[in-house]
A and B are shown apart, each in its own frame.
Chain A
Amino acid sequence: MEKLPSHTKARHFGMVIDLDKCTGCASCMVACYSENNVSFRDEESIKLLSINWIQVYKITNGKPFPDTEVCYLPQPCMQCDGKDFGHPPCVSVCPAVATDFDTPTGIVSQIPVRCFGCRYCMAACPYHARKFNWWDPVWPADMERYLSPDVSPRMRGVIEKCTFCYHRFQRARQQAYYKGDAENIKEADYQTACTQACPSGAITFGDMDNPDHAVYTLKKSRYAFRLLERLGTQPSVYYLSTRKWVHRACDNYLEHEEPAAFAGKSA
């Protein structure tokens, strides 16, 4: 693990998404597109060619009517801590250090101008959170004027992904600095676009190591789990659901195994 400079306060930003609250409206996706200048094409029917930094999946319990249950699962980059806090699956493999683990925040960065498009990180990521720019980004003429000045658009041939709106963190830190205490960033000062856009309040974001932040408590819930947790990627995104089948749908279990929250119970 990288040693922090003595004047840097360690944070560990993370997200908790309550799947029992998510309605699948995809406001988070729209907000993310707008906030991060995510490009799109006229033809978006092939989802494996689309770029989105957060994607809402629809999952079901597989039972016929009237027992059918549906759950919507918003999935951004999991910002994995990886092995030994600092070796997410995608970071160690990048041959050109175009993606890195930021120890002071726990955020996995992506540097499009450094990336040369080998896509090894994409192969390494089990979440398909990394998207490749198969085409040049083109926006409708009028729309270019409304692009966010805080986030550089990415060019063809490079990888991009969710950064937990890192530019917002930089802005919050700058404001805190002007106020005289650079390290005092309150929970409301730094929130991701998807968190703020969620109408049902399903997404909570903050410093997971700070007891004053809601995520600190939420992630300790008995019903909290992480996507594909057993792979050992140590995601910084937690999900909440009281439904056993949702837990089961989000990780792999052998026939005799049960999700931790329901071990020995039949919820």
Chain B
Amino acid sequence: MTTSAFPEGVKRCSSGKFILWLLPAFLVLLIAAYAMFRVWFYGLNQTNMNDAYGFAIWIWADLAVIALGGGAFFSGFLAYLVGVKKVKNIINFAVVLGVVCYTSALILLGLDVGQPLRGWFIFWHANIHSMLTEVAFCLTIYLGVLIVEFIPVILENPKIQKIRFFHHLSHNMHEIMAVFAATGVFLSFFHQGSLGGVPGVLYGRPFAFREGLFIWPWTFFLFTWSAAAVGPLFTATMCRLTEFITQKKLVKDDVYELLAKISGWMLLTYIIAKSLDTIYWATVTAPARGFAFMDFYSNNPAYYGVWILIAEIVICGFLPALILITQKGRENKKLLFGAAILAIIGLCINRWVMVLQVLAAPLKPFQEEWFVYSPAWTEVITTIMPIAYGIVLISIAYRYLPLFPQEKELNP
């Protein structure tokens, strides 16, 4: 069907079908809202976290969604600052995805702190030495930038465009979008890096600790680089998923191939750097503290065998990178998106080990057993929540906003 509320020249499903599609997502959101109420009202005793697992699944999810949402900043960088025109065909979608990821991250952080009403202390009593302070500042400001980038997309709805003021506002905001994109890139560089710094500076935790450059541990750079490499692949994969669900071609293949080429080379350089970092850590950093490399990958109930390192670096690192840098790999869409999914899994594994394996590994030799944790239902449902929330926001945005400039041309 078409109405004047939809973007010009495109077709959308009926309202009934649309509501039916959103129902399961709303159901998840409802249960998640109940879980959030329990956590905020009764406290963190509603989770399975404990004194060994001060950080758990929420912090992992935070790190993962922020990295995956990195597609917004890097696509913005390519489109507005480098001037890669093709990327503009997917940039609106990347911004919506970024908004979903970053708002989800802030909600999860709000759940994760023991005294959420004191959350403003991080700004008011800021400790400039803490990586988390840098994360909080950059994250919050960057979310503001993302919303500013999102506003002109909202204003492009045909109904809103009819209002003269909004029409001009949207036009003028587009004109200055490069400034916001540049600000976003700057902020993103720092908060993606600071998130890497969060585990990297923990010199009491030899699994996480890394030497580095001045005040920044190597993980600072590795996190930024990996987010910039995998973020656009996540954007592309989600776009492909939207195509699959809507049964429409929304973006031309050459856009995917370009993003895949850029991401492929970035992923390859990242994974080489990550391998060097791992070798140095395993042969110099950890032994200097009395740990052999295999101490971190053995004597646990198989959760953290050396397989996890192989999965992260080889299967989900080198393999997708090598596929994506070859033209044949990119031209075969199954290979391209297979590689993209592997890269996304690899990034999620990286964030997982840098949060949870760090805390699981025993440090005192007289405490030989690894710490084990399994999330409570309240943690699981709220971690799934960003997916449901993403489905709702992206569906509404796709229905009413011109997210894909090529849609009309590709679906005559």
Q: Are B114 and A231 in touch, CB under 8 angstroms?
A: no
Cβ distance B47 to chain A, nearest Cβ, rounded Å: 9
**For residues 30 through 55 of chain A, which have their beta carbon under 8 Å from a beta carbon of chain B?**
46, 48-50
Residues of A within 8 A of B371 (CB): 48
Distance A57 CA – B365 CA, assembled complex (angstroms): 12
B247 within 8 A of A: no
| Chain A contact residues, majority secondary structure | loop
**CB contact between B52 and one of A124, A128, A249 (< 8 Å): that residue:** A128
B43 within 8 A of A: yes
Cβ distance A110 to chain B, nearest Cβ, rounded Å: 14
Given contacts A114-B121, A123-B202, A134-B43, contact A252 B130 (CB under 8 A): no
Residues of B within 8 A of A257 (CB): 290
Q: Are B115 and A232 in touch, CB under 8 angstroms?
A: no
**CB contact between B289 and one of A116, A130, A230, A250 (< 8 Å): that residue:** A230
Given contacts A114-B121, A231-B203, A252-B290, contact A120 B132 (CB under 8 A): yes
B54 within 8 A of A: yes
Q: Are A132 and B292 in touch, CB under 8 angstroms?
A: no
Q: Are B114 and A48 in touch, CB under 8 angstroms?
A: no
The interface stretch among B3-11, B165-173, B356-364 is B356-364
A131 within 8 A of B: yes
- Chain A minimum-CB-distance residue to B198: A120
Cβ distance B138 to chain A, nearest Cβ, rounded Å: 13
Cβ distance A229 to chain B, nearest Cβ, rounded Å: 9
Distance A94 CA – B125 CA, assembled complex (angstroms): 10
Residues of A within 8 A of B359 (CB): 123
**For residues 190 through 206 of chain A, which have their beta carbon under 8 Å from a beta carbon of chain B?**
none
- Chain B minimum-CB-distance residue to A82: B203
A115 within 8 A of B: yes
C-beta contact mask, B34-68 vs A, less than 8 Å → 1, else 0?
A: 00000000011100011111110000000000000
Distance A126 CA – B366 CA, assembled complex (angstroms): 13
Residues of B within 8 A of A120 (CB): 54-55, 130, 132, 198
Residues of B within 8 A of A232 (CB): 203, 289
B391 within 8 A of A: no
Q: Are A93 and B366 in touch, CB under 8 angstroms?
A: no
| Chain B contact residues, majority secondary structure | loop
Residues of B within 8 A of A98 (CB): 121, 125
**For residues 119 through 146 of chain B, which have their beta carbon under 8 Å from a beta carbon of chain A?**
119, 121-122, 124-127, 129-133, 136
Q: Are A227 and B364 in touch, CB under 8 angstroms?
A: yes
C-beta contact mask, A222-255 vs B, less than 8 Å → 1, else 0?
A: 0000011011110000000000000011111111
Q: Are B114 and A133 in touch, CB under 8 angstroms?
A: yes
B201 within 8 A of A: yes
Residues of A within 8 A of B24 (CB): none
Residues of B within 8 A of A125 (CB): 204
Q: Are A252 and B291 in touch, CB under 8 angstroms?
A: yes
Distance A126 CA – B51 CA, assembled complex (angstroms): 11
Residues of B within 8 A of A9 (CB): none
Cβ distance B122 to chain A, nearest Cβ, rounded Å: 5
Cβ distance A240 to chain B, nearest Cβ, rounded Å: 16
Distance A98 CA – B122 CA, assembled complex (angstroms): 10
Cβ distance A152 to chain B, nearest Cβ, rounded Å: 15
Distance A97 CA – B121 CA, assembled complex (angstroms): 9
Q: Are B54 and A249 in touch, CB under 8 angstroms?
A: no
Given contacts A95-B130, A120-B132, contact A46 B202 (CB under 8 A): no
Residues of B within 8 A of A (CB): 43-45, 49-55, 112-116, 118-119, 121-122, 124-127, 129-133, 136, 198, 201-206, 287-292, 295, 358-359, 363-367, 371
* Shortest Cβ-Cβ A-B pairs, 9 listed: A117-B114, A157-B114, A252-B290, A119-B54, A122-B54, A126-B204, A48-B50, A116-B118, A89-B204
* 16 further contact pairs, Cβ within 8 A, besides A134-B49, A254-B292: A89-B202, A93-B201, A94-B127, A94-B130, A116-B121, A123-B54, A124-B202, A132-B44, A157-B43, A230-B289, A231-B206, A231-B363, A249-B365, A250-B365, A252-B365, A257-B290
